Structure 1
Amino acid sequence: MSQAKKGDSVKIHYTGTLEDGTVFDSSAGREPLDFTLGGGQVIVGFDEAVTGMAIGDKKTVTIPSHKAYGEKKLELVIEVPLSQVPPDLNPEVDQKLQMGGPNGELVVVTVVAVTDDVVILDANPPLAGKDLTFELELVAIS
């Protein structure tokens, strides 16, 4: 039976959980995830975990944050004076907003705090700084 290797197109069912057991994503009830190994379409640790699996293989792996979404970067947490927030916007904690990035791109940020004077926004990926556990099942290689 062949094993998945770099350049192969693979289909995999997965369930991703955090350290406390909270499920953050799953292919359950959906089509399996379809991607090319080594193609940069998934996080590095996920790519590495699938490499070497054969069709029908199942395993559970924990991917450290540095091979997932990276460590949380403090420079991506910013304070914005309320005077600079559009008047029709009423920011609330955990709300997702879009703002212009340094190169004109749209960046998704999360409101982490609101005071009388400032809104604190976090532009880190939501899973940054977290180790992720995945239950994997390889269903196809092509």
Structure 2
Amino acid sequence: MASEGEIAVVHFTGRIAEGEDAGEPFDTSDVDVALDEGIYHDNRDYRPLEFRVGGGEVVDGLDEAVRGMTVGEERTVRVDPDAAFGEHDDGKVVEISRDELEERSDVTAEQGELVGSETGETGWITEVGDDTVTVDFNHELAGVSVEFDVKLLDAYEDE
């Protein structure tokens, strides 16, 4: 049984829980699921996820889901934004000068392009105007309820 402080070893698949994208997977630790669902990436190492229960290493909803699970048990849990990737924060959406952005980075100011901030945060361009660019530094799933299909493969004490 997975409990606080132990290392949990899980296979998981995260899916959008509601709206027009409900059921769409956004992440998985299982290569077969990634291939079947069309979300496979060559640069990714698909293997079970290991994390310390209660260690803040994964989103709260996934951490909470494994507590009390027994090895071999599977469950699907719905996780609201506050225990997943956070609520969408309008304060993390900024408008900056297009010239300034292009001068200080390799960015060509195209919608969807990733941008790094001076403080190390990563955002993406959501809107491009003639003179300004809007960049969103929220997590891409901020404000979204998700579901995790979780299978506990092992739980052990790390000595």
TM-score normalized by the length of structure 2: 0.82
Find the counterpart in structure 1 of residue 24 from structure 2: 22
The equivalent position to 2:124 in structure 1, one of 106, 110, 133, is 110
Superimposed CA distance per residue, residues 36-94 of structure 1 (whole angstroms, 9 cap, x where no aligned partner): 10011011111111101000000111100011111000000000012312246311111
Tell me by how many angstroms 1:99 deviates: 1.8
Which residue of the partner structure matches residue 8 of structure 1?
Answer: 6
Q: How many residues align?
A: 136
- CA RMSD between the two structures: 1.1
**Contact 2:107–2:113 at 8 Å: present in 1 too?**
no
Describe the SS at the equivalent of 2:23: coil
Tell whether the 8 Å contact from 2:107 to 2:115 is kept in structure 1 after alignment: no
Aligned equivalents of 2:61 and 2:30: distance in 1?
A: 21
Percent identity between the two aligned chains: 32
Letter in 2 for 1:6: E
3-state DSSP of counterpart to 2:102: coil
CA distance in 2, matches of 1:115, 1:21: 34
Separation in 2, partners of 1:96, 1:62: 29
**Which of the two has greater helix per residue?**
2
1:26-41 pair list within 5 angstroms: 26-29=28-31, 30-41=46-57
C-alpha distance in structure 1 between counterparts of 2:79 and 2:101, whole Å: 37
Q: Match for 2:115: what amino acid?
A: L
Would you say the 8 A contact 2:12–2:150 is kept in 1?
yes
Cα distance in structure 1, aligned partners of 2:53 and 2:78: 18
Q: Secondary structure at the match of 1:35?
A: strand
Pairing partner for 1:56 from 65, 72, 82 = 72
Q: Which runs of 5+ in 1 are unaligned?
A: none
Higher strand share: 1
Distance 1:86 1:17 in 2: 35
Secondary structure, in 3 states, of the residue corresponding to 1:86? helix
Q: Secondary structure of the equivalent of 1:85?
A: helix
Unaligned runs of 5+ in 2: 32-45
Shift of 1:95: 1.1
* Aligned counterpart, 2:149: 135
2:8 counterpart letter in structure 1: V
Question: So what's the TM-score if we normalise by structure 1?
Answer: 0.91
